[in-house]
Structure 1
């Protein structure tokens, strides 16, 4: 009888240990899922995570703040979205790129045009053309829209492989409030580093003037940052969104409820 009782106690002890292990594993899984569905899926091995902005915005080493650029509050992107007005698109018939000023002007007056400033900001191992400290001749980067490693090489047949994308397209902005901006504000908008990202040429061409309702980056790891950046730009320049656009943005942000606005941390 004593042997049976001893065996019973050992079995009970093992059972309690087994349940304790199961509980620990379950807690670990729950914690892991919570991490994954908030920030983990976007942070794990994600090269864009770097403080308040998961992709570059401003480098004070050679870039200067643009006068007239509206400030962006550091806050939850979903909350910022709720304050953006929802309206229909205005007519596009009178849209003209010239309404946003000279393309790639030296808006910050640092001696370099905006396209080269953004290439220098976004690329690694940057090489300049001979005799220039502005004109980028080559470099590499982890392209955000596709997630691929891309090499940029300046040349008649190669430069277009990497384009500078307006996160909020100029034509989209024109239909959603930019017509009410001053000419100077529109030029600032078109050259604001917050609204510019070096991107894969074909992906940028496919995007066109699309908003979040019609186009999102193929690289799903970048979508939260991308949508938060669009929200930040539209909030800064007092533009609006359509209902379809807002619904698409909310759908993306539902997978990353902790996503913050993107702002120039200077």
Structure 2
């Protein structure tokens, strides 16, 4: 009997200790969690977190806000694409008597000289502050010289075709191809290097212009109900994260061109060399940033030394 009594007393003592621990835990403020495990993190509402810490939504009228309205889909096949699907090149869609190419040259170039025999439509010469490279280009119309300045479709027509334009009617595609919002006068070789790339595969060499560039792409795609791929969306979002207040362009005005520090030419009053061959012929190669004749177009690896 004594052994049994001892056993019962030990069991009662253990039970009493367990009850005391539980009461102590409750007195200390521990509450059962949803998982039934003491110490699990309570709901966010009980932590005192400030809901205002969440990121604010993008401001209306910004490219960031407009980007979030674009559909994100995969690229459609290029089947059926041709330039002719967008109407004749450089149509006079605004009926001002001048073709679109010359309209854009007149808009984007300064110190222009026009042909009076064409009602001042054809631009014979001018100076371009190139948005893609941040450099100055002297334009001269001619078979061997006109290609120094090309008119770029900011959203390439092939890219547009694969992201919704094939669903537009012919007139809408003609407007897209001639919309001043989608057109920029730029450095010819740089434009050729772009091809039909989207923001995931190509951005202007001038970092100072990239925010404006992707904002224009967003504006065009929103205006014509085109979509973006996930990679393209993410690339645009990365650029706009540096300029969250970048406004969404609403018309075909000329861009504001700001030269990068590494894209600027040499000292004031000097012109950059047109090529490394010209720099070498002048005995100036290699040409360094800040030297007369330097421009980022001569500095392929961006190390500040051109024509190495």
TM-score (normalised: structure 2):
0.62
5 Å matches for 1:193-232?
A: 193-232=180-219
- Deviation of 1:121 after TM superposition, in Å, equals 0.3
- Deviation of 1:86 after TM superposition, in Å, equals 0.2
| Aligned position for 1:90 | 76
Aligned-partner SS, 2:235: helix
The counterpart of 2:228, out of the listed 241, 261, 266, is 241
5 Å matches for 1:25-174?
A: 75-132=61-118, 133-174=120-161
- Deviation of 1:265 after TM superposition, in Å, equals 8.0
Contact map agreement 2:179 2:252 (CA 8 A) in 1: no
- Deviation of 1:94 after TM superposition, in Å, equals 1.4
- Deviation of 1:169 after TM superposition, in Å, equals 0.3
CA RMSD of aligned residues (A): 1.2
Residues 262/164 of structure 1: CA separation in 2 closer, same or farther (3 Å cut): same
TM-score (normalised: structure 1):
0.71
Q: Which moved more, 1:126-135 or 1:173-182?
A: 126-135
Q: Distance in 1 between matches of 2:194 and 2:205?
A: 11
- Deviation of 1:175 after TM superposition, in Å, equals 0.1
The counterpart of 1:251, out of the listed 212, 218, 238, is 238
Q: Distance in 2 between matches of 1:150 and 1:254?
A: 31
Greater RCO between the two (CA within 8 Å, min separation 6)? 1
Tell me how many residue pairs correspond in the alignment. 193
Q: Distance in 1 between matches of 2:92 and 2:116?
A: 20
Which aligned runs of 4 or more in structure 1 are off by greater than 3 angstroms? Answer: none
Q: Distance in 2 between matches of 1:167 and 1:91?
A: 20
Between structures 1 and 2, the one with greater helix share: 1
Specify every segment of 5 or more residues in structure 1 that has no aligned partner in the other structure, as ranges: 1-73
Residues 256/139 of structure 1: CA separation in 2 closer, same or farther (3 Å cut): same
Aligned-partner SS, 1:91: coil
- Deviation of 1:219 after TM superposition, in Å, equals 0.3
